[in-house]
């Protein structure tokens, strides 16, 4: 199949390129814009208690005041607010309300801080558009207007709250995307120049993957709109890295084999056909593993991950098709001139380092397996200290952003939980009015919960069937202590609800609690499903039921090592209270799926060597010698491109960039190069049971045949026989 695909692309390169360009123009011109949401509650399905509570609040208290933006005032000299300052705050609040800014529904004064140094203006916006770009736009106008109104006073004013956080997150994401894009381009360009010393070859993947990126983004926008998926601003940054990182990987897989076939004496076009034929199955299997792993995210209960999975799967699928059609077409059109001005492609270097590594694995596979396994196990010990944090807003932007400064100052000036109080909604089950005499006792029980600063009944709906009890926690909403406290509040709210009533607990801490529950659900469903599907891919590729087990086990060890290293660096080293809650899920899928690419490439080459009659240990050594340079180059580029995410300036992408880049480095330089080939050498022929994929392929005695034992059609170039070292590119 892959030979036919290669033939079609190479024999008709102009038509292949034209088809891609037409598709790119058509999709980009007609694709809808990609929506974006930063509202944490939108990540959860309607079945969770915090979402039920939010829905109840909208029905029972449609005019309830829930601030989307908060203006925080303090004197420029840091002293207590004077009577004149308080008058200025009242004036600014009044004038701000008269401006009729889009999305703004009410503007009221808030309570001053106990120390008298801070005052607030609370701004309510349309709850239906929470987290949407239009509220970020409104926050931008509010920030400009409130600062303008404060000119000429002794007040310094900053705008915070969820709408302001959405604005700052949006700005931070744009800056992060630009830095990631520039860093990714620079790394790919410089690395390819060093490897091939050919400017055309260095620039080519950037141009081609740029075309693929445009098509992929358009297809993702279509899918997002068609299936009503949630989008998040962080996805764009991840997509840049996935498209260019994975795309460059597949480009390298193909170009290394193309160069090898040219050195073997193949005619240029036939060299590309043979390259696609030889490495196409490995590329398709690697991409298949990644696509399946990403699609497993649709089983997630979090909207953010549900959207990310199909988006990344679409991107990788487009990259795979390009790797098998567009890249071969363009390179075959250019021919060997693609390596200009370097002439090193004409001769095979000694590859002394990888040959030596191969000999080491061949001679001492047990020592290699134990040593590399111990490295993975040692790093995995760090997972014992893993903690999660749920503050997605502060994790998505630097602490210096204005909304983050407001959040930190409010935690110091007010009760830590005052900025995001918890609400307990008590409703009658029979539709009759609630017994108000029970309110005081119920509020006292809520207030007595460990971790609660205060609890009081604040309002009852017009029908008298639902009451709102505002519970202020002692801790900031996203902390572990707040999530534990809200769990205790839920227990008391449910168990001590008066007879004939039921309680729902809402608010940000309740949302974070449900997100924690959802993530734990994902660990038990997404992880096993992704692993099982990847094992199926490996089984089909290798025609074995043995190899997939130790391959996926090695990747699992790689995941543990990656998470452990990330815990040590960020929790123990940098001092983060925890890692972002979705990081292990994302890390698992990237490390397992993309890390499997290198295992697939190495094991496929090992099988190829074994089929030529080599014993397991020799086959492992030769596989490392020949596939090692490809894995090293691809692993370095992909790890380095993911590392550019650390330039974004926020903890979410910094942690993600470090985790995924280190995971890929472990997958390439520990698993694929040492652990996998040494284990395969130790297991021997049993690794290929029951398909015996390592059996020598007998060459037919009649018609002319290639080195894989396939008959060659008249006029088709024959590859150099397997016993000829030159034909193997050695």
pLDDT number for residue 649: 67
Q: Which residue has the higher pLDDT, 381 or 480?
A: 381
The whole-number pLDDT of residue 703 equals 39
- Strand pairing of 579-580 and 388-389? parallel
**pLDDT at site 195:** 83
Q: 5 vs 111, which has greater pLDDT?
A: 5
User: What integer best gives the mean pLDDT of the chain?
Assistant: 83
What pLDDT is attached to residue 206? Answer: 87
CA dihedral 315, 319, 325, 326 (to 10 degrees): 100
Tokens, residue 347: 């001769």
pLDDT tens across 184-195, in order? 788 888 888 888
> Which residues sit opposite 423 in a β-bridge?
470, 506
Task: Dihedral sign for Cα 517, 521, 526, 527, please.
Answer: positive
The Cα 453–Cα 418 span in angstroms is 9
β 119-125/579-580 pair status: unpaired
Q: Give the tens place of pLDDT for each residue, 543-558.
A: 888 988 988 888 889 9
Task: List residues bridging with 690 in a β-sheet.
Answer: 544
> Could you give the CA distance from residue 267 to residue 319 in angstroms, rounded to a whole number?
27
pLDDT band at 711 (very low <50, low <70, confident <90, very high): very low
Least confident of 155-159, 344-348, 711-715: 711-715
State how far the Cα of 257 lies from the Cα of 136, in Å rounded to an integer: 50
Q: What φ, ψ does residue 230 adopt, rounded to 5°?
A: -85, 145
90/110 Cα distance (integer angstroms): 10
pLDDT at 67 over 50: yes
Helices 162-196, 402-413: crossing angle, 10 deg rounding? 130
The 10s digit of each residue's pLDDT in 521-542 is: 888 888 888 888 888 888 888 8
Spatial CA neighbour of 497 closest among 415, 556, 434: 434
Confidence at 260, pLDDT banded by 50, 70, 90: confident
Q: What mean pLDDT comes out for the span 248-262? A: 89
The string of pLDDT tens digits covering residues 197-229 is 899 988 998 899 889 988 988 888 888 777 766
Kindly indicate the confidence band of residue 699, based on its pLDDT and cuts at 50, 70 and 90. Answer: very low
Is a pLDDT exceeding 50 seen at residue 714? Answer: no
Poorest-pLDDT segment among 118-127, 131-140, 443-452, 504-513? 131-140
Check if the beta carbon of residue 241 is closer than 8 Å to that of residue 644. yes
Q: What is the pLDDT of residues 225-244, one digit of tens each?
A: 777 665 555 566 677 777 88
Q: What is the mean pLDDT of residues 124-136?
A: 75
Contact 612, 174 (CB under 8 A): no
Residues 6+ apart with CB under 8 A from 247: 205, 208, 209, 212, 319, 322, 323
Percent of the chain at pLDDT exceeding 90: 36
For residue 77, give the 3-state DSSP assignment.
coil
Range with the poorest average pLDDT among 17-31, 90-104, 398-412: 398-412
Instruction: Write out pLDDT tens, residues 420-437.
Output: 789 999 999 988 999 999
The tens digit of pLDDT for each residue in 617-676 reads 999 999 998 888 889 988 888 888 888 878 766 677 788 889 989 998 999 999 999 999
One-character DSSP codes across 539-587: HHHHTBSSHHHHHHHHHHHHHHHHHHHHIIIIIIII--SSEETTHHHHH
What is the distance between the alpha carbons of residues 672 and 87, in angstroms, rounded to a whole number? 69
Query: Quick one: CA dihedral 192, 194, 200, 201, positive or negative?
Result: negative
What pLDDT sits at residue 146? Answer: 93
pLDDT interval class at 393 (50, 70, 90): low
Query: Tokens 């109080």 belong to which residue?
Result: 421
């Amino acid at each position: 199949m892959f030979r036919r695909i290669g033939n079609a692309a190479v024999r008709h390169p102009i038509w292949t390129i034209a088809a891609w360009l037409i598709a790119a123009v058509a999709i980009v011109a007609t694709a809808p814009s990609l929506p974006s949401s930063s509202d944490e509650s939108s990540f959860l399905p309607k079945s969770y208690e915090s979402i039920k509570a939010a829905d109840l609040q909208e029905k029972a208290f449609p005019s309830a005041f829930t601030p989307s933006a908060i203006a925080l005032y303090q004197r420029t000299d840091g002293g207590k607010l004077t009577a004149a300052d308080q008058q200025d705050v009242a004036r600014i609040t009044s004038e701000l309300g008269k401006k009729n800014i889009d999305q703004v529904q009410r503007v009221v004064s808030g309570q001053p801080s106990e120390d008298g140094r801070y005052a607030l203006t609370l701004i309510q916006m349309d709850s239906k558009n929470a987290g949407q770009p239009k509220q970020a736009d409104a926050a931008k106008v509010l920030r400009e207007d409130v600062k303008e109104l404060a000119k000429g006073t002794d007040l310094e004013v900053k705008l915070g709250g969820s709408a302001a956080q959405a604005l700052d997150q949006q700005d931070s994401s744009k800056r992060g995307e630009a830095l990631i894009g520039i860093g990714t381009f620079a790394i790919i360009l410089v690395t390819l120049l060093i490897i091939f010393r050919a400017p055309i070859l260095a620039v080519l993947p950037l141009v081609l993957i740029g075309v693929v990126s445009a098509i992929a983004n358009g297809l993702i926008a279509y899918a997002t709109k068609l299936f009503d998926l949630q989008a998040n601003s962080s996805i764009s940054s991840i997509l840049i890295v996935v498209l260019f990182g994975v795309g460059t990987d597949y480009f390298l897989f193909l170009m290394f084999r193309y160069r090898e076939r040219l050195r073997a004496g193949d005619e240029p076009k036939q060299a590309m056909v043979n390259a696609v034929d030889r490495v196409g199955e490995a590329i398709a299997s690697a991409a298949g593993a990644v696509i399946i792993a990403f699609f497993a995210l649709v089983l997630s209960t979090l909207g953010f991950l549900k959207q990310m999975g199909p988006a990344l799967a679409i991107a990788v699928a487009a990259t795979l098709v390009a790797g098998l059609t567009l890249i071969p077409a363009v390179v075959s059109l250019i021919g060997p001139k693609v390596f200009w001005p370097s002439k090193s492609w004409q001769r095979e270097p000694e590859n002394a380092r990888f040959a030596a590594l191969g000999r080491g694995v061949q001679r001492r596979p047990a020592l290699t397996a134990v040593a590399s396994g111990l490295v993975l196990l040692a790093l995995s010990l760090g997972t014992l200290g893993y903690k999660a944090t749920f503050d997605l807003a502060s994790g998505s932007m630097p602490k210096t952003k204005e909304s983050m400064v407001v959040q930190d100052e409010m935690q110091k000036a007010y009760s830590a939980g005052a900025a995001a109080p918890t609400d307990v909604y008590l409703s009658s089950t029979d539709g009759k009015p609630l017994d108000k005499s029970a309110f005081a006792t119920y509020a006292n029980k809520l207030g007595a919960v460990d971790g609660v600063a205060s609890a009081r009944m604040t309002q009852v709906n017009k029908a008298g069937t639902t009451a709102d009890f505002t519970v202020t926690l002692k801790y900031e909403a996203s902390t572990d202590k707040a999530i534990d406290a809200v769990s205790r509040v839920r227990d008391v709210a449910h168990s001590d609800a008066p007879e004939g009533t039921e309680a729902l607990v809402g608010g940000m801490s309740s949302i974070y609690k449900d997100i924690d529950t959802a993530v734990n659900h994902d660990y038990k469903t997404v992880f096993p499903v992704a692993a099982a599907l990847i094992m199926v891919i490996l089984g089909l590729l290798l025609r074995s039921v043995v190899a997939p087990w130790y391959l996926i086990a090695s990747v699992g060890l790689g995941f543990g090592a990656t998470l452990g290293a990330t815990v040590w660096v960020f929790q123990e080293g940098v001092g983060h209270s925890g890692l972002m809650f979705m990081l292990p899920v994302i890390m698992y899928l990237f490390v397992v799926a993309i890390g499997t690419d290198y295992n697939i490439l190495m094991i496929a080459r090992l099988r190829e060597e074994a089929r030529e009659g080599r014993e397991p240990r020799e086959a492992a050594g030769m596989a490392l010698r020949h596939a090692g340079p490809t894995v090293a180059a691809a692993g370095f580029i992909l790890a380095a491109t993911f590392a550019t995410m650390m330039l974004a300036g926020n903890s979410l992408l910094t942690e993600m960039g470090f985790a995924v880049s280190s995971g890929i480095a472990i997958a390439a330089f520990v698993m694929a190069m040492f652990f996998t080939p040494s284990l395969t050498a130790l297991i021997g022929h049993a690794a290929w049971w029951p398909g015996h994929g390592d059996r020598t392929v007998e060459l037919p005695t009649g018609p002319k045949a290639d080195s894989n034992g396939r008959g060659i059609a008249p006029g088709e170039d024959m590859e150099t026989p397997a016993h000829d070292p030159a034909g193997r590119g050695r």
